[in-house]
A = this chain, B = another copy of it.
Amino acid sequence: VTGEFDAIAAIRATLPGPPAGETWIGDDAAVVHAPRGDWLLLAADTMVAGVHADLSLTGLDDLGWKAVVSNVSDIAAMGGDPVHVLVTIAGPPGTDLLALYRGIASAAAAYGCPVVGGDLANANDLVVTVAITGVVEGAPVLRSGARPGDAIWVTGALGASAAGLRHYRSNAARAARHSELDELLRAHARPRAAVAEGRAARLAGATAMIDVSDGLAADLGHLAEASGVGFALERVPVAAGATLAEAMGGGEDYVLVFTAPDDRKVIRAFRGLREPERIGVCTGSSAERSLEGRPLVVSGWEHRW
């Protein structure tokens, strides 16, 4: 057990420092160059140990990684690029802050959004809150611009995170965890944010976009509701080893779903990236939610209040 200021000094030593002229950790606020461009993107997400992550299955470093990536994914879902993050940790004395920060620092480095400040406070629960800034060239892609007739695309297969969690919960996978970490376990413990794909979707003329954090059905439902359209899905790409239910309702895949009127423009914009999959179409019946012609029961993760 150590004091807050020693803990901050130890954390700071593990993180990159600011460029000349900027001030990051260690003052009342971080001072960063004002971003160029017309728009600043701002988002914040919280991860609660025991709610968003089972620490008997995955590590504190994985929790730190996911807390950053879930925010990066929010910026990606606007077609933007992440710039800086602030990390706030409330937790009990004895929490291995350096393990948590290993994951935070890895994700911040992977996505080019350094940690410039934050806060530490004591609480019984471990609560990791990340706030992020992002920038976007031109107009950001909102949830609300989809029109009837637009095609619906996803940037990858779905359900891997939920299937990974299922595997973690089996003892066999737990034993194999460190030596044979497969794609599904990794998808759950170390999800990726689709920043390049979000940018490509924006350049392809995407009319609306959202990231799949609560489940495809629920998140596409949010997009459809914000846009005032319905949707008819023809097929959904299910990750190898995952079930259709995991793909539709599992969440935390951080795949992007977007709508766009021009298929050829989409294919062109994604050259050099993994090709997105066209999964259906927006319809003019705003209440429509269907898969292969059958009504879809929408369920997804929701906190209780």
- Name, among A51, A134, A209, A304, the residue most crowded by chain B CB atoms within 10 Å (CB to CB): A304
Query: In the complex, which residues 28-81 of chain A have their Cβ closer than 8 Å to any Cβ of chain B?
Result: 28-48, 51-52, 73-75, 77-78, 80
Alpha-carbon separation in the docked complex, A37 to B35 (Å):
10
**Residues 104 to 123 of chain A near chain B (Cβ within 8 Å):** 116-123
A210 interface residue (CB < 8 Å to B): yes
Does A265 belong to the interface (CB within 8 Å)?
A: no
| Cross-chain contact B39 with A37 (CB below 8 angstroms) | no
Cβ < 8 Å to B, chain A residues 10-44: 23, 26-44
| A135–B90 CA distance with the chains assembled, in angstroms | 27
Interface size for chain A: under 10, 10 to 19, 20 to 34, or 35 or more residues?
A: 35 or more
Question: With A7-B305, A127-B90 known to touch, is A38 a contact of B43 (CB < 8 Å)?
Answer: no
The oligomer's copy count stands at 2
Shortest distance from the beta carbon of A293 to any chain B beta carbon, whole Å: 27
Query: Bound complex: CA of A217 vs CA of B232, how far in Å?
Result: 64
Contact of B131 with A95 in the complex, beta carbons under 8 Å: no
Residues of B within 8 Å of A33, CB to CB, are: 38-40
A292: which B residues are within 8 A, CB to CB? none
Is A161 interfacial (CB 8 A cutoff)?
Answer: no
Q: A5 CA to B305 CA in the complex, in Å?
A: 9
Q: Considering only CB atoms, which chain B residue lies closest to A134 in the complex?
A: B29
